[in-house]
A = this chain, B = another copy of it.
Amino acid sequence: MYCVKVELKERSYPIYIGEGLLSDPSVFPLKKLDKVMIVTNSTVAEYYLKLLTDTFVKIGCQVEYVLLPDGEQYKTLESLNLIFTALLKSNHGRDTTIVALGGGVIGDVAGYAAASYQRGVRFIQVPTTLLSQVDSSVGGKTAVNHELGKNMIGAFYQPTTVVVDTLTLKTLPKREVNAGLAEVIKYGAILDHSFFEWLETHIDDLVALDLQTLQHCIGHCCQIKADVVNRDETEKGDRALLNLGHTFGHAIEAHLGYGQWLHGEAIAVGMMMAAVLSEKLGHLSFNDVARLERLLAKANLPTVSPDGMTPDDYLPHMMRDKKVLAGKLRLVLLQSLGQAYIADNTDRQLVIDAINHCSQFD
């Protein structure tokens, strides 16, 4: 078992990463008679709800659950209210614990519910997708969507504990594993060159779901993100580096309609565009760009734009990015592989060239 400590003073918490942790009562900060509400969806519930419930029952907890519909389109105030209704119907008090069992959507909605129910109750994250294990379960961002914008309603709210059971990746669709690897590769690219090299050596083991390799990899990513969040909890500075590829990637997701491409797939192409742009600005070598492209391809991720999508399709979405300041585009670019920076006011024609470079033409 691997343990990463997220240091945020009185709101510090541990992330436990290991094989079979869903069945290990010792990693959960619960005791006899504690009331617990598990928030999950029907897909995840089928595999893991009974297993986790049994673990909590072994501790002596009173366990209930609420099922949310599965999918990003249900990351809404209505789903949030389903959780509140379940809690109130069973008289859960301020001493209750909400447990998120699932991917990023479940974690975001359940976390915001925990932040809001009676103005804040205890929250445990049990992320079951690679993406949520390395990204959304670290850092305390919780949110639901509004019809006019993604993640517009939420709170910064830290969990008490995060429990990552690597076995859950065995039942995850391959495409979602790969999408998670896009965020893994991102950590290497923005902040850690030696981790990037480690990934070049171990990418096949990761794709093949070797659990020891995955455990090391997830632990390392959580450590990187924990360090960043520690320096910048509410995203005033450094934390923005975590958005490498996201400004381009969000444009792909928004243009295609959310749910067509997975988030990680769009981010993979976005990172390629950021890398090509960084090369055009004289930072990266051609060889560095090729290394990133090779690594993404080995993780079965796309490295070129969706069919027919042009710079004109990207730019309007990109200008709506939360990083835009005073109408000027701000992008995360690479100084080198392992070192990202924020670029203000990048030449618009170079951005268009980079998008074109990563597009498929017949």
Q: Does A117 contact B (CB under 8 A)?
A: yes
Q: Judge whether B324 and A154 touch: CB under 8 Å.
A: no
CA distance A156 to B155 in the complex (A): 11
CA distance A91 to B148 in the complex (A): 10
Could you say which residues of chain B place their CB within 8 Å of the CB of A81? 77, 146
Among the stretches A43-51, A82-90, A242-250, A274-282, the one at the interface with B is A82-90
Q: Does A118 contact B (CB under 8 A)?
A: yes
Could you say which residues of chain B place their CB within 8 Å of the CB of A116? 153-155
A33, A89, A115, A117 pick with most chain B CB within 10 angstroms = A115
Q: Judge whether A155 and B119 touch: CB under 8 Å.
A: yes
Tell me the smallest distance from the CB of A328 to a CB of chain B, in Å: 10
Could you say which residues of chain B place their CB within 8 Å of the CB of A141? 119
Shortest Cβ distance from A94 into B: residue: B322
Q: Judge whether A119 and B154 touch: CB under 8 Å.
A: yes
Q: Does A241 contact B (CB under 8 A)?
A: no
Could you say which residues of chain B place their CB within 8 Å of the CB of A146? 81, 84-85, 88
Q: Which of B152, B319, B320 is close to A84, meaning CB atoms less than 8 Å apart? A: B152
Could you say which residues of chain B place their CB within 8 Å of the CB of A308? none
Q: Judge whether B152 and A118 touch: CB under 8 Å.
A: yes
Could you say which residues of chain B place their CB within 8 Å of the CB of A257? none
| A77-B77, A116-B154 known; A149-B93 Cβ under 8 A | no
Q: How big is the A interface, by class?
A: 35 or more
CA distance A94 to B236 in the complex (A): 11
What string of 1s and 0s marks CB contacts (under 8 Å) between A311-328 and chain B?
000000001101011100
Q: Judge whether B120 and A326 touch: CB under 8 Å.
A: no
CA distance A117 to B154 in the complex (A): 7
Could you say which residues of chain B place their CB within 8 Å of the CB of A148? 84-85, 88-89
Shortest Cβ distance from A142 into B: residue: B119
Q: Judge whether A117 and B322 touch: CB under 8 Å.
A: no
Q: Does A234 contact B (CB under 8 A)?
A: yes
What string of 1s and 0s marks CB contacts (under 8 Å) between A52-89 and chain B?
00000000000000000000000001001100110011
Could you say which residues of chain B place their CB within 8 Å of the CB of A234? 119-120
Q: Does A143 contact B (CB under 8 A)?
A: yes
Q: Judge whether A118 and B88 touch: CB under 8 Å.
A: no
CA distance A155 to B152 in the complex (A): 16
CA distance A268 to B88 in the complex (A): 27
CA distance A80 to B77 in the complex (A): 10
Within 8 A of B (CB), among A153-206: 153-156
| A116-B154, A116-B155 known; A325-B93 Cβ under 8 A | yes
Q: Does A238 contact B (CB under 8 A)?
A: no
Within 8 A of B (CB), among A87-144: 88-89, 91, 93-95, 115-120, 141, 143
Q: Which of B80, B89, B94, B152 is close to A117, meaning CB atoms less than 8 Å apart? A: B152
CA distance A176 to B324 in the complex (A): 43
| A77-B81, A324-B93 known; A115-B155 Cβ under 8 A | yes
9 contacts between A and B (CB under 8 A): A84-B152, A85-B148, A88-B152, A88-B320, A89-B148, A91-B319, A116-B154, A118-B152, A120-B234
Residues of A near any B CB (own CB < 8 A) = 33, 77, 80-81, 84-85, 88-89, 91, 93-95, 115-120, 141, 143, 146, 148-149, 152-156, 234, 319-320, 322, 324-326
A89-B148, A117-B153, A119-B143 known; 5 other A-B pairs, CB under 8 Å? A81-B146, A84-B148, A85-B148, A88-B320, A116-B153
